[in-house]
Amino acid sequence: MRHTISVLVENKFGVLSRISGLFSGRGYNIESLSVGETIDPQISVMTIVTTGDDWVIEQITKQLNKLIDVIKVTDMTELDHVEREMVMVKVAPRQDDKAEVLRLAEIFRGRVVDSSQKTYTIEITGDEKKIAAFVELMKPMGIKEFVRTGKVAIAREGIKKK
């Protein structure tokens, strides 16, 4: 099963390689990994998407916790949470398809961030399903380049009823 794990780490050099080395050394998968500073510049947050059965996921979280630079490990999959990813797609549609590309971008609340005589670059943010759907629709339009950030995830806060 796929799990999204959020890891708070000390923002020091070498931490990323400790984490990625742990995954490669022990034969765990990384589907995506994103890193960035938190509000506290001494702490970074990594969002790791990985797959494995319960035994493997338990080992992954324990092994992550064991690393000296890891402050906190949260398996987001166990919590109510929001996941987002951003992709940028550069498409080169035929003249006839140009309007369709823009229309689809609008439907998916994408933005055109660059355009040329032959191409549009569209930025789109969403969860996995939305991005997959958009990519499917863009494929026939002629994708030239495609980049994605990897997922980030955050836990939802419950709302207290008055």
Partner 1 sequence: MKLSGAEIFIECLKKEGVKHIFGYPGGVVLNIFDLLYDNKDVKLILTRHEQGAVHAADGYARVSGRPGVVLVTSGPGATNTVTGIATASMDSVPLVVFSGQVPTMLIGNDAFQEADIVGITRPCTKYNFLAKDVNDLAEIIREAFYIATTGRPGPVLIDLPKDVTSGKTDFIWPEDVKIRSYNPTYEGNKWMIKQAAHEITKAKRPIIIAGGGVIISGGHKELKELAEITQIPVAMTLMGLGGFPGTHKLSLGMLGMHGTYYANMATQNSDLIVAVGMRFDDRVTGNVDGFAPQAKIVHIDIDPTSIRKNVRVDIPIVGDVKFILREMLSILKEESKGQWTEIRKAWLSQIGQWKKARPLTYHSIDDVIKPQFVVEKIYEITKGDAIITTEVGQNQMWTAQFYKFDKPRRLVTSGGLGTMGYGFPAAIGAQIAFPDKLVIDIAGDGSIQMNIQELATAVLEKLPVKVAILNNRYLGMVRQWQELFFHERYSYSHLNMVPDFVKVAEAYGAVGLRATKAGEVEPLIEEALRIKKPVFMDFIVDWKEKVYPMVPAGAPIDQMLFEEEEKKAEKKLRAVK
Q: Does 62 bind partner 1 (CB under 8 A)?
A: yes
Q: Does 38 bind partner 1 (CB under 8 A)?
A: no
The only residue of 32, 69, 118, 148 in contact with partner 1, by rule CB under 8 A: 69
d(CA 154, CA 76): 8
Q: Would you say 51 or 65 has its CB closer to partner 1? A: 65
Strands (E), 100-161: 111-115, 120-126, 143-148, 152-155
Q: Would you say 29 or 63 has its CB closer to partner 1? A: 63
Q: Does 65 bind partner 1 (CB under 8 A)?
A: yes
Strands (E), the chain: 2-10, 32-37, 43-51, 70-75, 81-91, 111-115, 120-126, 143-148, 152-155
CB of 7 to partner 1, least distance (A): 11
Q: Does 25 bind partner 1 (CB under 8 A)?
A: yes
Residues that bind partner 1 (CB under 8 A): 9-10, 14, 17-18, 21-22, 25, 55, 58-59, 62-63, 65-66, 68-71
